[in-house]
Amino acid sequence: MKIKTKLKLITGIIAVFMLILITLSITKALEERASMNQVQKLNILSQKLSLLIHETQKERGASAGFLGSKGKKFIDILPKQRLLTNKRNKELRAYLSTLDLNSFPKELKSTVLAFKSDMYKINNIRSLVDQLKISVKNEVGYYSNMNKKILDIVGLTAKLADNPELVKALDSYTNFLKSKERAGIERAVLSNTFAANKFAKGMFYKWITLVAEQKSYLDSFMAMESQKDKDLYAKVMHSSVVDKVNKMREIAKQKAISGNFGVDSVVWFKTITKK
């Protein structure tokens, strides 16, 4: 074989090899871009879900207060809160309509469908609350089960991310939201308790557990945050509102057996909502 022919053969082999490398690089880049695009969509979805869960948490608390007072309190708060929940749900549904859930893992699609099924029942739950025909346990349970599905969807974004820093940030964010959800259930439990002026059966233990869980999730959140974010959190939480919440908590603890707390359930609701 002549040298010229050998050179042509070598050049051809190198060209084919380079073409394979380029093709693989492009394919990898496209896959990474598609993955990042999905994560970006899920981040927006998480934002929409976070806004909705904030309202369902408040509605759960106001409903519990209404039931605890036997319909005498939260008369003005509850209808307004339901409108806020409806608004955020409408925004979420509009965004979901732009997503092709079949392009995401089956776990995400099934959880979204399960959440939508729960949300579909909300008007029936509201009607039972208005008629005082549902127990606080079942009312709180409905909203809490639905909110759990919302948090599960948010948590799935961390599983789909492939950037270590992004995974860490999303895990931290999920822990923060889980702590906030426990605070929301606490708002509902004590709204009902202060309105009824006594702890219902099993509610004191539930409340103490919720406070402990909040701390646990916040510890996990803080463990993954930067010092800058830790300082910001400490600054925000150094507030008179937090002090007021802790004082009302202390009253609930000291008078757990006797009741007669002397705490207005609406004041509690508004104060912990600010927190």
Q: Determine the pLDDT at residue 30.
A: 45
> Which whole number is the average pLDDT over 53-81?
94
Under the banding of pLDDT at 50, 70 and 90, the label for residue 102 is: confident
For 36, counting Cβ atoms within 10 Å of its Cβ (0-12 exposed, 13-18 middle, 19+ buried), the class is: middle
Q: With 70 as the cut, is the pLDDT of residue 218 above it?
A: yes
Under the banding of pLDDT at 50, 70 and 90, the label for residue 113 is: very high
Task: Give the model confidence (pLDDT) of 221-250 as tens digits.
Answer: 888 888 888 888 888 888 899 999 999 999
DSSP notation for 165-231: HHHHHHHHHHHHHHHHHHHHHHHHHHHHHHHHTSPPTTHHHHHHHHHHHHHHHHHHHHHTS-HHHHH
Task: Name, in order, each residue with C-beta under 8 angstroms of 174's C-beta and a sequence gap of 6 or more.
Answer: 151, 154, 155, 158
Global model pTM greater than 0.75:
yes
Q: With 80 as the cut, is the pLDDT of residue 214 above it?
A: yes
Task: Give the model confidence (pLDDT) of 11-45 as tens digits.
Answer: 656 655 555 555 555 555 445 555 556 677 887 88
Q: Determine the pLDDT at residue 120.
A: 93
Domain span holding position 98: 3-274
Task: Give the model confidence (pLDDT) of 130-154 as tens digits.
Answer: 999 999 999 999 999 999 999 988 8
Greatest alpha-carbon span in the chain: 104
Structural domain count, the chain: 1
Distance CA 129, CA 85 (A): 16
Q: Determine the pLDDT at residue 227.
A: 86
Mean pLDDT (the chain, rounded) = 86
